[in-house]
Amino acid sequence: MRLFTYLLLFLLPFSLSYSQDVTIPIETENTVMVLKTDHNNRLKIIYFGKSLSNIDEYKQTGDVFNFQDEGASSNNSAYAVAGIDNNFIEPAIAVIHTDGNNSLDLLYESHTATQTDDGATLTTITLKDPVYPFFVDLLYKTWNENDVIEQWTVIRHTEKGKVVLNKYASANLYLNNTDYYLTSYNGSWAKEMQPEETHLRQGMHTIESRLGTRANLLTSPNFMLSLDGKATETSGTIMMGQIAWNGNFSLQFETDMYKNLHVVAGINPYQSAYHLDPNTPFETPRFIYTLSFEGKGKGSRNLHDWLRDHILLDGHGDRLTLLNNWEATYFDFDQDKLVSLFGGAKELGVDMFLLDDGWFANKYPRNGDTAGLGDWEVNRKKLPDGVPFLVREAEKEGVKFGIWIEPEMVNPKSELYEKHPDWVIKEEKRPEIYFRNQLVLDLANPEVQEFVFEVVDDLFTENPTLAFIKWDCNAPIFNGHSKYLEREKIPQSHLYVAYSKGLQNVLERIRTKYPTVPMMLCSGGGGRSDYNLLKYFTEFWLSDNTDPLERVFMQWNYSYYYPAIAMCNHVTDWSKDKSLKYRIDVASMGKLGFDIRANELSEQDMRFAQQTIVNYDDFKEIIWHGEMYRLANPYEKDLASLMYVNEQKTEGVMFNYLTNWRYLAETSLRPILLQGLDKNKTYRLTEINLYDGAYTPINDQKVYSGEFLMNVGFNPSVNSSRSSVIIKIESIE
Ligand code: GLA
C-alpha cells in the first residue's frame, strides 16, 4: 500500500502536466455541447443539452453520467478513431499512414474561439497523433440565435508521402438521453421525402447514399431525432439536421450498451479512400444540426431562419412566379407555340415564362429524352430565331424568360459524346448503364468543369436579360470510372469526392460572375436539396409529382427542413380530379408556379387563377420571410393545417387542406389551435381564394384575440365541399 502511494505521488505531477484538463463548451443561446479532456488528454463529449447560465459548471456535467466504466469512457470521444485498442465504437476516422501502420490516436493540442465576419462563433480544436505528424481540426460554427451548429473537420498531416483516409467523417456526437426515435426519409422518383420512424434500441442504423450525383433520390440527408421519447410539434427535445453534402453521404446512429447514442456523419466512405498529400488540408462537409426543447416546430424555425440568413442564395429576397411549359408541351413545341404561351403567362399574371427541356441539339435533336443531351446549341428547326428572339418576345408581353439546362449529363446519342468519349464517367471494360438514357460527365476533369461553366456563361452572354435557370440532374453515377483521374494517376477512389467538389467549383465560378440570377436546383424531381448546393441556388424542385394531395404530404415533410421561399410548387394537370382551387391553394404554400396550358382554362378558371395570383402577391412576403407553424398533421388527422406569421405578428396566412374525402373524415368537429400570434393583439380572419364568389361560413366581421386563437382555436370549416381553405390573418388596431 505504501509502495502504491509512493508510486502514485511520483506519477501524479507527470500525469497532471500531461493532462491539460480543458473544458470547451460549444454554446448557442439555448444549447451546449461540452467537450473535456480526460486524464490521457483525449477529448470527450461529456454533455449535450440545455445551456447553463454559470459556465463554470460545465466541467462537471460529465460527472453525473456513467463515463467511468471502461467501455463507456471510450465511447464518448469527440472524434472516434480506428486502430487503437481503447476505442470500441464506430470510428469517425480511419487512416493508413505512409509506413503502412493503420492506427490513429488523437490527443488534444489546443483550441481557439473567434467571432466570424458573418456573426457566428467559430471554435477550432486541434487534435494530434502523439506518434505521427497527423492532425485533425474539429470545427464548430455556432449560430447563437438560431441554435444551429455547423460541425466539420479539417484533416492534415506532414508525413512523407500520402496518408490514405479510409473514413473521414465531418462529425461525431454522443448523446446521453434515454429514448431515441429517428425520423429519416426514403424516396424514389415522384415519391420523394417519405418519412420512416425508427425506435433506436441497439446497434447501428445507417442512412446513406451511393448515387454520386443526385444524392437524395433514394434517401434524404435530413433527419430528426427525438430524444427522451417522442417530441410533438410544440413539446419535447428534438435534434434536427442534415449532412450538407451533394455527394454520397452517410449518417450512422449507433446505440451502445449504456443506451447512449453515438452519431457519425459525413461523406460516405463507400469506394472513396482518399490519398491525402502532406500539407494539403482536407476539409469535410458540414454536419448541420439544431437542438430544440420545444418540439419540432421550433427546430424547423431554427433551421429555416439559419438557411435564409446564411445559406440560401438571396434568402431574404424576392422570387418570381412563373409559367413552365414542361407538362404543358413536353418536347413537342416550336417557336410559334412557345410565343403563344407567353400570352398565357401574361394573362395569368405571373412574372416569368420558363422554357423547359427540348430546346437544343441539331444532329441528334432533343425531341425526346433519348438524344441530344450535351449539345447545347439551340435546335434551329424548332427555334429558328434562337433563344434571344424568345427572350425578346416574352419581354414584349411583360414577362421575364428563364431556361432549363442539365449540363452535367450526356446522351450517348449526342455530338458531345462522339467528340469527347473520355469526358464521360463509365467503365470502358463493361457495358454502359444508362439512367433516363444518359450518362454523367466527369466533373473531376477541369476541362469538363470549363465546359459546364460555358453552357451557362454562353447563355448569359447571348441573353443578358435571361432571368432564371432551372438546373437539372437526372442520372446517378453507374460504373464510376474517370479517364481523367486515370491519366493523372489519381486513384479512382477519389472520383465521388472529386465529382462533388468539381460541381461546386463550377457553381462557385457561376456565382462569382452571376451573383444574383435566380436558379432552381432540380434533379429528376427532388433528387437534390442539400444545404451545400443551396448556397448557389435560390430555390429547389421538390418532386415531379405534382398531384396536390401527394404534395400536401411531401410539402409537409420538406417543411421540417426548408423554408417556403426555397420550395417550388407548381400547379399542373397531373391530377385533374382535384379542383383548380385545391391545386392552386396547395402550390401557394411555397414558391408558386404553373405548368398548365393557360389557353385551355375556362373563362371562370382563368379569372379565379388570376385572382389567386393577386392574392399570392399580397401574402407572399409572409410565407417567404415569416415564421412557419405546423398546426394539424395530415398523418394523424384528416386534414393538414399550417400557418405563417410575419415578424411583427401583425399578419399571417393559414393553409388548410382536406386529406381524406371519406364521409367519416373528421375535419371540422374541433377548432385548430393557431400559433405564433401575439396573445394581446386582436385579429380579423378572412377567407381568400374563394372560387368565383363561393359562400364562406367565415365571418370576417368577427374579431378574436391572439390568446383566443392560440388557446381556444379557430375552425376553418374544412369538408369535402371546402377541401382547401386559405385564411388571411390581420391584426386590427
Ligand atoms: C426532370 C425534371 C422535370 C423536367 C424534365 C425535363 O425530370 O424533374 O421537371 O424538367 O426533367 O426532361
Proportion of the chain above pLDDT 90, given as a percent: 93
Q: Is the CB of 356 under 6 A from ligand 1?
A: yes
Atom of ligand 1 nearest to the CA of 356: 10
pLDDT given at position 636: 97
Altogether, the residues listed in the chain come to a count of: 733
Shared domain check, 332 and 297: no
Shared domain check, 335 and 294: no
What is the residue type of 670? Answer: R
46-50, 67-71, 107-111: the lowest-pLDDT one: 67-71
Shared domain check, 276 and 231: yes
How many structural domains does the chain have?
Answer: 3
235 Cα to the center of ligand 1, angstroms: 39
CA atoms within 13 A on the CB side of 673: 10
Shared domain check, 307 and 341: no
pLDDT digit string (tens) for 397-438?
999 999 999 999 999 999 999 999 999 999 999 999 999 999
pLDDT digit string (tens) for 636-656?
999 999 999 999 999 999 999
320 Cα to the center of ligand 1, angstroms: 19
292-296, 449-453, 691-695: the lowest-pLDDT one: 691-695
Among 264, 279, 311, give the residue marking a domain's end. Answer: 311
Q: Is the pLDDT of residue 1 over 80?
A: no
105 Cα to the center of ligand 1, angstroms: 48
Shared domain check, 190 and 278: yes
| Position 455 in a domain | yes
pLDDT digit string (tens) for 209-255?
999 999 999 999 999 999 999 999 999 999 999 999 999 999 999 99
**3-state secondary structure at position 560:** coil
225 Cα to the center of ligand 1, angstroms: 33
Shared domain check, 86 and 235: yes
Q: Is the CB of 687 under 6 A from ligand 1?
A: no
| Position 497 in a domain | yes
Which of 528, 683, 678, 664 is closest to 211 using CA atoms? 528
Q: Is the CB of 605 under 6 A from ligand 1?
A: no
Shared domain check, 170 and 70: yes
Shared domain check, 198 and 86: yes
234: domain CATH number is 2.70.98.60
| Position 595 in a domain | no
Q: Is the CB of 524 under 6 A from ligand 1?
A: yes
697: domain CATH number is 2.60.40.1180
pLDDT given at position 8: 37
> DSSP characters for 255-273?
E-TTS-EEEEEEE--TT--
Q: What is the 3-state secondary structure (H, E, C) of 190-207?
A: CCCCEEEEEEECCEEEEE
Atom of ligand 1 nearest to the CA of 404: 10
Shared domain check, 273 and 169: yes
Q: Is the pLDDT of residue 608 over 50?
A: yes
| Position 613 in a domain | no
| Position 600 in a domain | no
Angle between helices 335-348 and 386-396 (to 10 degrees): 30
Average pLDDT score over residue span 700-704 = 97
Banded pLDDT at 19 (limits 50, 70, 90) = low
Shared domain check, 242 and 104: yes
Range of the domain at 636: 627-732
Among 496, 519, 541, give the residue marking a domain's end. Answer: 541
Kind and range of the H or E run holding 283: strand 282-283
428: domain CATH number is 3.20.20.70
328 Cα to the center of ligand 1, angstroms: 12
What is the residue type of 693? Answer: G
- Find the radius of gyration of the CA atoms of the chain: 28
Q: Is the CB of 404 under 6 A from ligand 1?
A: yes
Alpha-carbon distance of 721 to 364, in angstroms, equals: 50
Among 257, 289, 311, give the residue marking a domain's end. Answer: 311
Shared domain check, 367 and 296: no
Q: Is the CB of 471 under 6 A from ligand 1?
A: no
Shared domain check, 406 and 326: yes
Banded pLDDT at 2 (limits 50, 70, 90) = very low
| Position 235 in a domain | yes
Banded pLDDT at 18 (limits 50, 70, 90) = low
Average pLDDT score over residue span 285-313 = 98
Average pLDDT score over residue span 463-481 = 97
pLDDT given at position 7: 37
Alpha-carbon distance of 653 to 566, in angstroms, equals: 18
At a CB cut-off of 8 Å and minimum separation 6, what does 170 contact? 151, 152, 153, 243, 265, 266, 267, 284, 285, 286, 287
Q: What is the mean pLDDT of the chain?
A: 95
At a CB cut-off of 8 Å and minimum separation 6, what does 121 contact? 27, 113, 114, 115, 141, 142, 144
pLDDT given at position 575: 85
Average pLDDT score over residue span 177-195 = 96
pLDDT given at position 67: 75
pLDDT given at position 578: 95
Which of 468, 469, 465 is closest to 391 using CA atoms? 465
**3-state secondary structure at position 249:** strand
Give the single-character DSSP code of 441. B
Instruction: Assess contact for 57 and 68: CB atoms under 8 A.
Output: no
- Cell numbers placing 29: 443561446
Q: Is the CB of 357 under 6 A from ligand 1?
A: yes
85-89, 228-232, 372-376: the lowest-pLDDT one: 85-89
pLDDT digit string (tens) for 545-585?
999 999 999 999 999 999 999 999 999 998 889 999 999 99
pLDDT digit string (tens) for 94-138?
999 999 999 999 999 999 999 999 999 999 999 999 999 999 999
Banded pLDDT at 390 (limits 50, 70, 90) = very high
Banded pLDDT at 178 (limits 50, 70, 90) = confident
| Position 568 in a domain | no
Signed CA dihedral, 522, 526, 528, 529: sign only? positive
Pocket test for ligand 1, best of 360, 522, 540, 545 (most atoms within 8 A of CB): 522
Banded pLDDT at 16 (limits 50, 70, 90) = very low
pLDDT given at position 304: 98
Atom of ligand 1 nearest to the CA of 369: 12
Q: Is the pLDDT of residue 463 over 90?
A: yes
| Position 553 in a domain | no
